[in-house]
Structure 1
Amino acid sequence: MVDKHAANIRGTFGYLDPEYISTRTFDKKSDVYSFGVLLFELVAGRNPMQGLMEYVELAAMSTEGEVGWEEIVDSRLDGRFDVQELNEVAALAYRCVNRAPRKRPSMRDIVQVLTRILKLRHVRKHSKTPSATADEVSIDVDQPETKIPISVHRRDESMDSTADTDL
């Protein structure tokens, strides 16, 4: 909770990095935390003032952070979503809101994961047989034992699509 006497803390309640609140040190990982909250807001259709993060923490206990995030999906979607995409976005969001800033991915890594998800959607939507080739990549989040494996799909016909995915 933000103390009402902490006048030098700036930001929107619910999106503020807990580390920033306690140390008053803002860095790139503080933005990552806020972006993770935003991703969960999109998935769940709730904002932080509606208990979003408590809802996420309850769901995380049963999902182990990776799959099973369907229970928090905005009911207005009425089942019209790709379960794999949902689980990938929610798992990414969960890594973004990690209490330990050093364990959060960088914004560059986040963009790579979201780009891959979009490319996979495009491949599934426009072809029955995927024409992309897959390379395995790990996102190093400042801990050697904490690497997040992802597949980066590259289309051979476009230089722009490979430039966005290079580490």
Structure 2
Amino acid sequence: MTALFEHSPWIEARADALPSSGDRWADLMAVVHAASDAERLALIRAHPELAGKAALDRTLTQASAAEQASAGLDRLSEDEFAKFHELNAAYREKFGFPFIVCVRLTDKAGILRAMAERLGHDREVEIATAIGQIGEIVRLRLADSGLQDQAKEAQA
């Protein structure tokens, strides 16, 4: 089964320990929003950089590798790779964590535009944006796994 959150099993464990609302995604995101600032930062930092070292050395999770490939990040030209590397470095330098976007909802050009635009955010806005993007990633992973539908059927 695909991990819903990158290297952060504590979220699913906490959600499993609480009464279910019948909406798995909402239950999971409630755990994320109730987490401490340090835990939310750890969640953000658990994500790999887009087209970064983990992609090159093939240590991405299976889900991340497939998602990055869906946006063409496994087929970058030298110029595109250099631009991703430059923006990743600038973003990490400014915010202290990797740029996160739900790549399945965009393409290479859209990701590069978002990286450049989001460098203009302040840190608090960017933390909230990253958490929102993680929520979108999880929503799609749940849909792929059928878990969200199963939870809704069980509630009915």
Fold match, TM over 0.5? no
Provide TM-score, normalisation by structure 1. Answer: 0.26
Name whichever structure is richer in helix by fraction: 2
Q: Indicate the structure whose relative CO is greater, using CA pairs within 8 Å and at least 6 residues apart.
A: 2
Larger Rg: 1
Q: Which has the higher strand share?
A: 1
Give the TM-score normalised by structure 2: 0.28
